[in-house]
Structure 1
């Protein structure tokens, strides 16, 4: 008699799918799980490039941030009832942080979302997330990609008449911007693993 493998212990969605509130209530859920279109998106192991780029932008934004704004890495953003995303770095209005026990902030408080792409997130970071961030009114979006071991930043700004993002530049080696506040970044400081992984 063959042994039957027990099914994986996956959370079963309720009718209508999960909501942003559910992420704080589901037992045993990985802390970096996101909600996209009422579906749970579980995190995958990250490359060294991803971690170093996230750390680099978190540190550099923290050094340059102006009064009234704050920086958080890998923190949950409520876009709407069925979308709770977790950018790699966010710049937000500091009044949105009311408690050290807080697990998320509203998208209306976010002025910049930074996503560092990986193989499993490429289409989400290029297509799905920018659309949702733009609809939520997040003024700036930066997508960081690993191009042969070097960080390349695709920067976008919300165009108020269309409500969509427009490109403000593709940056290699050096990134100089004036919004959301002045920054001059040496992108060569983000180092990938050997072999450009």
Structure 2
């Protein structure tokens, strides 16, 4: 039996962050706040990935917390990453280890509820067609999510905590995917962001 996600493009949702900028006291998890469209932030982010890809692994702080329960109910595979506070790279490595034999990965952020399914599908399609790193552009500016092909697995697994995948984006040629999707630039950092919609 193949490991999960073998030869498929797998979605990864990074949802283990604390969101300290959103609420320094830590009482309100920004991922569980409701967006303008009435969905919880992390649910909207996960739904877009799940609509475009057959398998989505969500990195959570604790598989029993409220974020994890939401994501499990949607059909995400969960992976707990207790060291997530050390940076996004740590979370990413947790997810990649679960899916190291995938053909590629589209890495979405749990605090970006506005990304369209069509954008994720377009990135996955480029990976299937042999692209190494794919990034979406809207109105000339790069956004998230980002896709990586399988050849980058060893580099991705070595990611330093803070760099996330940014270092790879600087050192390798990128395939640009032009999308009509303001959601690729819209993340929830503060409670004010919940009131503004992407666009």
For the criterion TM > 0.5, the same-fold answer is no
Rg comparison, structure with higher value: 1
Identify, as 1 or 2, the structure richer in strand: 1
Tell me the TM-score normalized by structure 2: 0.31
Identify, as 1 or 2, the structure richer in helix: 2
Tell me the TM-score normalized by structure 1: 0.32
Structure number with the bigger relative contact order (C-alpha 8 A, sep ≥ 6) is 2
